[in-house]
């Protein structure tokens, strides 16, 4: 075995995050690490990479026991990691990002010509012939992700860990990254792949290990498992109804909000949008097609140059998020780390924050009421935590996402904008959240949902608007809302866009 983990244990105050986990990674295999939100996947990885110190157990690499004290040390030992959020420097050239810290030197100075040449040679191994002199940020997220992989592999070269690396990629980009990963497997690396996308697990991986509540449930060859049994192992129960692409009835909802000519040069071309009461409008499109910008414009986070928003009672003021909230809007942003969570405050405080801001500083929500609200949503959204006073930053990624969602649900807006609401959320909670959206819309709330998962749009949306190159290019209603139609519209198939 390349990497062996035996009875790995990690304790946080009030939480046994890892409870005697065994895991073996062979050279030349891609090994999926699966589990619900809060199962302990990220914790296991952080123990491997030295970001956390384990409380018990042994790790051997190539037969020798290791005990990395920092990510740097783990890299030297041969364990490299790529996280979901690319953690390179977008404002620096690709070459510098790749070679940072070990640039070839001449007379003590960085030899930039050789740095570039070596960077280019490195990326060519990955079939990437890009200009390494350009800033990393000017390339697509997929390319950035591959650069991150290249950097991790060149630094370490034995074990490569990918923690939800495809969460913000579209299908073609996922393929690109997968080709790179398969190639690395064939070169003899041991690869750990963490993801909530089960399709990708079946497509890419050789073996699967499933964690639940910090314990290892099973390790199995991927080919021997089917989707149902995988989910059952993860959740410890069968999933009542998984989200599938059922077309909605397409009944016309009474219009509630009307946006006319909202847009801004260079950001998003002016568009009109009508949202019906209780309607779910989906926004589909590639990364950078203007979906998030559309949402930000509707929520007053970016100013529209022109145009107007109105409801039945007249024009609406959407100057800034506060004004939009006043008009009954809500917006759960895409990037929960920078825009969502207030990390060192408790789960309770994070959930009531929006409600409190709306009530004003002089009318604090009574503590008993805060507790009730927090407990209510912790239960409803199944947020895995030891208690409501835990700092939200200590929750697992998916559970943080749920808590941010809870903040907006607690405010009970009439129009809720959700930007990738289920990113990083496990299959069980995913179904739960989509069901919640259905309940809320049945009670009259309108929802605008942005998602890269087309199945998700098909499942919840009454209407899907497709964006391309910062323009609203197609609108699909009722029976037209199928995965196929959406994909074709996204891919600039004129027939579908017409």
Ligand X SMILES: Nc1ncnc2c1ncn2[C@@H]1O[C@H](COP(=O)(O)OP(=O)(O)OP(=O)(O)O)[C@@H](O)[C@H]1O
* 370 contacts Mg ion (rule: CB under 5 A): no
Q: How far is the CB of 344 from another protein (least distance, A)?
A: 5
Nearer to another protein, 15 or 144 (CB): 15
Pick the binder of another protein from 78, 333, 397, 424 (CB under 8 A): 333
Residue 362 contact among another protein, ligand X, Mg ion, none, beta carbon within 5 to 8 Å by kind: another protein
Residues 6+ apart with CB under 8 A from 171: none
SS3 440: helix
Pick the binder of ligand X from 8, 25, 39, 225 (CB under 6 A): 39
Residues 6+ apart with CB under 8 A from 167: 84, 195, 196, 423, 424
User: What is the DSSP annotation of 9-25?
Assistant: EEEETTEEEEEEEEEEE
Stretch that binds another protein, among 111-119, 254-262, 266-274, 336-344 (CB under 8 A): 336-344
Q: How far is the CB of 163 from Mg ion (least distance, A)?
A: 6
* 42 contacts Mg ion (rule: CB under 5 A): yes
Per-residue tokens: 341: 């969570």
SS3 362: coil
DSSP state of 307: -
Nearer to ligand X, 209 or 399 (CB): 399
Binding mask 393-422 for another protein (x = CB under 8 A): --------------x---------------
Instruction: Scan residues 381-440 and list those touching ligand X (CB under 6 A).
Output: 384-385, 394-399, 426
Stretch that binds Mg ion, among 11-19, 79-87, 272-280, 388-396 (CB under 5 A): 388-396
Question: d(Cα 229, Cα 15) in Å, to the nearest integer?
Answer: 27
Residue 338 contact among Mg ion, ligand X, another protein, none, beta carbon within 5 to 8 Å by kind: another protein
Question: d(Cα 376, Cα 436) in Å, to the nearest integer?
Answer: 14
Nearer to another protein, 324 or 486 (CB): 324
Pick the binder of Mg ion from 38, 165, 397, 421 (CB under 5 A): 397
Question: d(Cα 52, Cα 55) in Å, to the nearest integer?
Answer: 9
* 15 contacts ligand X (rule: CB under 6 A): yes
Contact, 466 vs 290, CB < 8 A?
no
Question: d(Cα 165, Cα 84) in Å, to the nearest integer?
Answer: 5
Residue 39 contact among Mg ion, another protein, ligand X, none, beta carbon within 5 to 8 Å by kind: ligand X
Per-residue 3-state assignment (H helix, E strand, C coil) for 240-260? CCCCCCCCCCCCCCCEEEEEE
Residues that bind ligand X (CB under 6 A): 12, 15, 17, 35, 37-43, 384-385, 394-399, 426
């Amino acid at each position: 075995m390349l990497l062996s983990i035996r009875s790995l244990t990690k304790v946080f105050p009030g939480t046994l995050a890892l409870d005697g986990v065994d895991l073996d990674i062979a050279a030349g295999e891609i090994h999926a690490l699966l589990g619900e939100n809060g199962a302990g996947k990220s914790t296991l990885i952080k123990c491997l990479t030295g970001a956390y110190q384990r409380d018990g157990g042994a790790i051997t690499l190539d037969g020798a026991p290791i005990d990395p004290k920092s990510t740097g040390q783990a890299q030297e030992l041969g364990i490299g990691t790529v996280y979901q959020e690319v953690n390179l420097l977008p404002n620096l050239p690709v070459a510098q990002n790749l070679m940072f810290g070990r640039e070839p030197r001449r007379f003590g100075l960085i030899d930039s010509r050789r740095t570039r040449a070596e960077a280019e040679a490195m990326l060519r191994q990955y079939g990437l012939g890009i200009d390494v002199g350009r800033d990393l940020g000017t390339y697509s997220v997929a390319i950035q992700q591959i650069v991150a992989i290249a950097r991790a592999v060149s630094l370490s070269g034995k074990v490569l860990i990918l923690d939800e690396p495809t969460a913000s990629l579209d299908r073609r980009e996922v393929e690109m990254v997968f080709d790179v990963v398969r190639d690395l497997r064939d070169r003899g690396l041991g690869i750990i792949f963490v993801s909530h996308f089960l399709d990708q697990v079946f497509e890419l991986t050789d073996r699967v290990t499933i964690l639940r509540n910090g314990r290892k449930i099973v390790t199995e060859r991927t080919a021997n498992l089917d989707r149902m049994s995988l989910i059952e192992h993860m959740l410890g129960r069968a999933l009542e109804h998984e989200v599938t692409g059922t077309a909605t009835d397409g009944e016309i909802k009474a219009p509630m909000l009307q946006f006319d000519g909202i847009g801004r040069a260079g950001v998003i071309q002016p568009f009109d949008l009508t949202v019906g009461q209780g309607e779910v409008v989906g926004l589909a499109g590639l990364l950078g097609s203007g979906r998030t910008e559309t949402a930000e414009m509707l929520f007053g986070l970016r100013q529209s140059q022109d145009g107007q928003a109105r409801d039945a009672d007249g024009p609406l003021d959407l100057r800034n998020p506060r004004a939009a909230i006043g008009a009954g809007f809500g917006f759960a942003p895409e990037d929960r780390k920078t825009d969502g969570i207030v990390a060192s405050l408790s789960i309770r405080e994070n959930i009531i924050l929006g409600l409190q801001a709306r009530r004003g500083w002089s009318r604090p929500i009574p503590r008993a009421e805060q507790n009730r609200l927090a407990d209510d949503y912790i239960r409803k959204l199944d947020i895995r935590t030891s208690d409501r006073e835990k700092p939200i930053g200590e929750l697992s990624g998916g559970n943080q996402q749920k808590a941010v969602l809870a903040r907006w649900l607690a405010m009970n807006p009439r129009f809720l904008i959700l930007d990738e609401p289920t990113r990083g959320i496990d299959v069980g909670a995913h179904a739960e959240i989509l069901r919640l959206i259905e309940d809320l819309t049945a009670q009259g709330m309108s929802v605008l949902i942005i998602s890269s998962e087309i199945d998700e749009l098909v499942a919840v949306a009454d209407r899907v608007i497709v964006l391309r190159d910062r323009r609203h290019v197609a609108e699909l209603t009722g029976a037209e809302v199928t995965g196929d139609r959406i994909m074709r519209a996204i891919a600039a198939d004129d027939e579908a866009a017409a």
